[in-house]
Structures are given as structure tokens and as C-alpha cells.
């Protein structure tokens, strides 16, 4: 699997998980399991350090880090954070502009 294939697959899943979480249909623990499963799968990806990032990949890593970093109450109720994360979701879904403040990097 290539970096691009991994990011495309996982970005779609991450967006689904976040939307379900915000709608009260998914516990935050499922997002945490998704994070660790993604890290395990990432360990299987072969890439070089000179391989360039796409905007989509940067936004994906930023979003994945944010959902792992913040506590459930902040992810659910901090309007500023939720708006920032929703902008990332919309971009990953092809429905929005690339957020300029996303600095996601590969683990």
C-alpha cells in the first residue's frame, strides 16, 4: 500500500468516525482504537523521508493527532476546536478549502 492509498482510506474512515462521534452515535473510545489501529497499519507502509506530502496528507495527520490529543469533552463541546476539526473533515471529504494552519507530519 502506498502513502497516498493509506491516507485516502484512513481519511475517509476518520471523517466517518468523527461525524458519528459528534452526532452521539459513537463513543470516543472507538476513535482512540481507530488511532492505534491506524498507527499499527502505518508501520506497514514503506516510504522515504524525501517523499513529498500532499495537502490532504498534512490535514489527515493533523486531524488524527488532534482527536488523539484532546479529551472527549473538549472534542465534543469546544466550539473553536470543533469548527477547526470540521474544516479539516470538510477538506478531506473534498467539500472545503485546505485549512492553512494544519501542520500534520508523519509519525
Domain borders along the chain are 3-44+54-92
pLDDT in tens, 43-95: 999 888 888 999 999 999 999 999 999 999 999 999 999 999 999 999 999 99
- Total-model pTM: 0.94
| pLDDT tens digits, 13-28 | 999 999 999 999 999 9
Helices (H), ranges, the chain: 3-22, 28-42, 55-69, 72-77, 79-92
Which is nearest to 56 in space by CA: 85, 84, 88, 80? 88
Rounded to an integer, what distance in angstroms lies between the CA atom of residue 84 and that of residue 30?
A: 21
Of the candidates 19, 25, 104, which has an alpha carbon nearest to the alpha carbon of residue 69?
104
Amino acid at each position: 500500500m502506498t502513502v497516498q492509498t493509506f491516507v485516502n482510506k484512513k481519511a475517509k474512515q476518520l471523517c466517518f468516525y468523527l461525524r458519528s462521534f459528534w452526532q452521539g452515535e459513537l463513543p470516543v473510545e472507538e476513535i482512540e482504537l481507530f488511532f492505534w489501529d491506524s498507527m499499527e497499519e502505518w508501520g506497514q507502509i514503506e516510504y522515504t523521508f524525501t517523499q513529498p506530502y500532499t495537502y490532504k496528507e498534512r490535514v489527515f495527520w493533523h486531524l488524527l493527532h488532534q482527536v488523539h490529543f484532546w479529551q472527549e469533552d473538549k472534542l465534543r463541546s469546544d466550539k473553536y476546536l470543533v469548527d477547526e476539526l470540521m474544516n479539516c473533515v470538510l477538506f478531506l471529504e473534498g467539500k472545503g478549502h485546505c485549512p492553512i494552519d494544519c501542520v500534520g507530519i508523519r509519525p
